[in-house]
Amino acid sequence: AIFDGYHTVIFAVNLIRLHLWTGFFYYVILLMPHKPLLVCALYDYNRRHTDELSFKKGDVLQVSKQLEGGWWEGSLDGFVGWFPSNYVTYTTSADIKNNTTTDESLLMHLQSFQNEIIQHVLEGELRQVSELSQLLSIFMIDLEPLLHLSFLNKFIHLRDILSQTISIHQHLASALSEMKRTHGPKCMGRLFLDFAPAINAVSCDYSKIYLHVITGLEEHIADITKHMASFNINLHLPDCKQQLMLVFERLGRYPLFLKEMERYLEELHIDRADILRAIHIYGEITERCAILRKFKEYDINVLLSVINGWHGPP
């Protein structure tokens, strides 16, 4: 009887211990607060079904279920869904804080490069205004005595187009200067899209007369030099021809500037779509101007060619 009583006491004690441990584990597992299980996306994932999550590389998801077979359930930005576990890696709150600091540092680095590019383009626009103004001053004299010479009738048109071109570069420089001072997103793509119609129009007009002007200068350099000397202008043909090329040289740089700016935009920058469109449009303008110059070259070759059997004046 004593032996049975002893075992009864031991059984009761063990039963109490079991209840205590069960209660402890219930508290630990169900009631004690847990740190959320966080994972960081290694790759972009676009959901294929409505019960899945979509996310971008670098997004941090909170895991709620981990099932065998490679699919986990989690949440992102208030949305709950399934995702492939091999697209993520474990992370911690400390990692997220460090990543945030890194992202802020990267953003400052990118914005610094953006400002440098804007400053570089701005300085180029100001130089263009200065050099084209110097070129325009040569043709601001009375050109009437020269206009009867072949090809020189385009000089008046050249003067008008140069004035328009200088005005466009002045306005573009002013807009770039204002953009540089602002603290918001740098939208150079949007700016160049706004200027594209005017730049396209004036560049195409210039392309149509450029070779006529060059040919006129080459054909009548003695008469032109003598006439300009009477206004105390010393015309140096190679320098003049180089200045006349400035319009095309500057135009050809715009797609390059825009591509460089696009390289340093944040992934979700508001201007990304506009700058890609601007790169394409300015590439088209450059190509269009080259085609127009080629057509005019054919026209001039015909005008300067000798017709077999023709005995009249050249």
Q: How crowded is residue 101: how many other Cβ atoms within 10 Å of its Cβ?
A: 10
* Residue 174, domain member (yes or no): yes
Same domain, 149 and 209: yes
Same domain, 58 and 120: no
pLDDT value at 26 more than 80: no
The one-letter amino acid at 259: K
Same domain, 71 and 127: no
Same domain, 142 and 258: yes
pLDDT of residue 23: 54
Q: Which of 97-111, 134-148, 200-214 has the lowest mean pLDDT?
A: 97-111
pLDDT value at 105 more than 50: yes
Same domain, 127 and 84: no
- Dihedral through CA 15, CA 21, CA 23, CA 24, nearest 10? 160
Report which of residues 27 and 116 the model is more confident about. 116
Same domain, 180 and 276: yes
pLDDT-derived band at 157 (thresholds 50, 70, 90) equals: very high
Same domain, 81 and 161: no
Per residue in 39-83, pLDDT (tens digit) is 888 888 888 888 889 898 888 888 988 887 788 999 887 788 999
pLDDT of residue 31: 45
Q: How many helices (H) and strands (E) does the chain have?
A: 8, 5
Same domain, 172 and 252: yes
* Residue 11, domain member (yes or no): no
pLDDT of residue 11: 59
Q: Look at residues 25, 56, 91 and tell me which one is the last residue of a structural domain.
A: 91
Specify the number of domains making up the chain. Answer: 2
Average pLDDT over residues 217-242: 92
Cα separations in angstroms, 92 against 70, 80, 219: 21, 20, 77
User: In this structure, what CATH number is given to the domain that contains residue 46?
Assistant: 2.30.30.40
Q: How far is CA 144 from the centre of its chain?
A: 46
Q: Look at residues 69, 91, 113 and tell me which one is the last residue of a structural domain.
A: 91
Same domain, 112 and 198: yes
% of residues, the chain, pLDDT over 90: 49
What pTM was estimated for this model as a whole? Answer: 0.66
Q: What is the domain range of residue 68?
A: 35-91
> Cβ distance 126 to 132 under 8 Å?
no
Same domain, 229 and 137: yes
Same domain, 170 and 224: yes
Per residue in 72-88, pLDDT (tens digit) is 999 887 788 999 888 88
pLDDT value at 96 more than 70: no
